[in-house]
């Protein structure tokens, strides 16, 4: 059994897996998971941590340690997972990313223009378009705050994108499922901000290349240190190629998984989707703790309680 823990509003991301006959997956909210006194004996996958307030992350981190002490496998330690800012700043400092990210109160000098504004903890579109100078940036900040965007959550992010063909942009992705790194299908768009992409917009040769990315998992080794830096053992990293080098934009710990989406008019895309689905199911089966989903034994629950008590004592809560 695999229990995917997410925010109540975003349970839909893995809902299709609950109907997948080859897997034993259940999606539960943090509200449900944290109040259960008798956790199931299963593999737990903690997701959506960037959408939780700090006090909730703390509670989830304590439960993570309780489950581990009881001998259960748990992916994504809430206390170690980096948010968007921490990941982007860390990747820039390490030399992996050429672009940087800033909080509003720390930008001492001009960044590399253009830039745009994003809200930390949000996976929707940026809150601004591309901004090319200080006046545009200050106006965009003021307008965002006026519209209700929390100033403390705003990030200034330097632009880093490059068209794969004239007027055509591509987003690449790699999934991590435990020890497996899986190449995923691309998204193509005629705009630098590639969110969902436009079906069938790319020429045939790019779908052939996409199939090679999925079949060979060529970017997996390059993305492993990114996942390690972020402290994420389950999730999807999104990146692009700029000057031939990967530039990472984010890691989504709660990606929307659709193993059987609507058929594409491009047959090679259908082949790539089917291959990813096959490998994803294999990877999920590999992290499954077994077919038993009964509540933990008294001995295991006692070990979990002692671990939680120790963590709470260190946090000054006992």
User: What element of type H or E holds 221?
Assistant: helix 220-230
* pLDDT for the residue numbered 315: 47
| Torsion sign over Cα 58, 61, 65, 71 | positive
Tens of pLDDT along 290-310?
654 445 444 445 555 455 555
Contact 212, 58 (CB under 8 A): no
Mean pLDDT over residues 107-115, rounded? 83
Q: What is the mean pLDDT of the chain?
A: 90
222's enclosing H/E stretch is helix 220-230
Helix (H, G, I), strand (E, B) or coil at 158: strand
Rounded mean pLDDT of 251-274?
94
Give the pLDDT band (50/70/90) at residue 283. Answer: very high
Burial annotation 17-39 (CB, 10 A radius, 16+ → b, else e): beebeebbbebbbbeebeeeeeb
Q: Is the bond leading into 275 cis (omega within 30 degrees of zero)?
A: no
pLDDT at 96 over 70: yes
- Percent of the chain whose pLDDT exceeds 90: 81
Chain mean position to CA 25 = 19
In this structure, what is the dihedral angle of CA atoms 107, 173, 183, 223, given to the nearest 10 degrees?
Answer: 0
Judging by DSSP bridges, how do beta strands 101-103 and 74-75 pair with one another? unpaired
Residue 318 clears pLDDT 50, i.e. is over it = no
- What's the pLDDT tens digit per position in 171-224? 999 999 999 999 999 999 999 999 888 888 999 999 999 999 999 999 999 999
User: Quick check: helix, strand or coil at residue 143?
Assistant: helix
Q: What is the mean pLDDT of residues 15-37?
A: 93
247: phi then psi, degrees, rounded to nearest 5? -125, 115
Question: 225: left (phi > 0), else alpha (psi -120 to 50), else beta?
Answer: alpha
With bands split at pLDDT 50, 70 and 90, how would you rate the model's confidence at 54?
A: very high
What span, in angstroms and rounded, lies between the C-alpha atoms of 255 and 276?
14
| Strand 74-75, strand 43-46: pairing | parallel
- Which conformational region is residue 316 in: left (phi greater than 0), alpha (psi within -120 to 50 degrees), or beta? left
Angstrom distances, CA of residue 252 to CA of 38, 77, 82: 29, 15, 11
The per-residue pLDDT for 302 is 53
Query: Does residue 281 have a pLDDT over 50?
Result: yes
Higher per-residue pLDDT: 313 or 27: 27
pLDDT digits (tens, 9 = 90+) for 226-261: 999 999 999 999 999 999 999 999 999 999 999 998
Confidence at residue 316, expressed as pLDDT on a 0 to 100 scale:
53
pLDDT at 19 over 80: yes
pLDDT value of residue 293? 45
* β-strand partners of 239: 172, 248
Q: Exposed, middle or buried, 6 (CB in 10 Å: 0-12/13-18/19+)? A: buried
């Amino acid at each position: 059994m695999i229990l995917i823990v997410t925010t109540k509003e975003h349970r839909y991301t893995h809902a299709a897996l609950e109907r997948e006959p080859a897997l034993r997956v259940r999606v539960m909210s943090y509200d449900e998971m944290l109040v259960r006194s008798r956790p199931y004996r299963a593999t737990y996958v903690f997701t959506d941590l960037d959408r939780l307030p700090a006090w909730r992350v703390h509670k989830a981190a304590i439960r993570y340690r309780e489950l581990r002490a009881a001998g259960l496998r748990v992916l994504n330690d809430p206390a170690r997972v980096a948010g968007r800012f921490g990941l982007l700043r860390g990747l820039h400092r390490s030399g992996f990313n050429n672009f940087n990210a800033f909080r509003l109160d720390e930008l001492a000098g001009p960044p590399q223009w253009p830039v745009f504004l994003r809200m930390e903890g949000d996976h929707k579109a940026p809150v601004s378009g591309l901004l090319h100078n200080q006046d545009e940036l200050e106006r965009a900040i003021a307008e965002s705050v006026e519209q209700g965007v929390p100033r403390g959550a705003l990030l200034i992010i330097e632009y880093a994108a490059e068209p794969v063909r004239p007027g055509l942009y591509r987003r690449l992705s790699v999934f991590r499922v435990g020890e497996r790194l899986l190449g995923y299908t691309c998204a193509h768009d005629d705009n630098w901000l590639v969110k969902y992409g436009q079906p069938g917009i790319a020429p045939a040769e790019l779908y052939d290349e996409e199939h090679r990315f999925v079949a060979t998992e060529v970017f997996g080794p390059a993305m492993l240190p990114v996942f390690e830096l972020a402290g994420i053992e389950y999730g999807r990293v999104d990146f692009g190629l700029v000057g031939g080098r990967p530039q990472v934009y984010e890691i989504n710990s709660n990606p929307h998984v659709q193993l059987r989406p609507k058929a594409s008019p491009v047959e090679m895309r259908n082949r790539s989707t089917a291959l990813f689905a096959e490998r994803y199911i294999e990877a999920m089966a590999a992290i499954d703790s077994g077919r038993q989903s009964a509540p933990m034994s008294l001995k295991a629950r006692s070990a979990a309680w002692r671990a939680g008590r120790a963590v709470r004592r260190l946090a000054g809560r006992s």
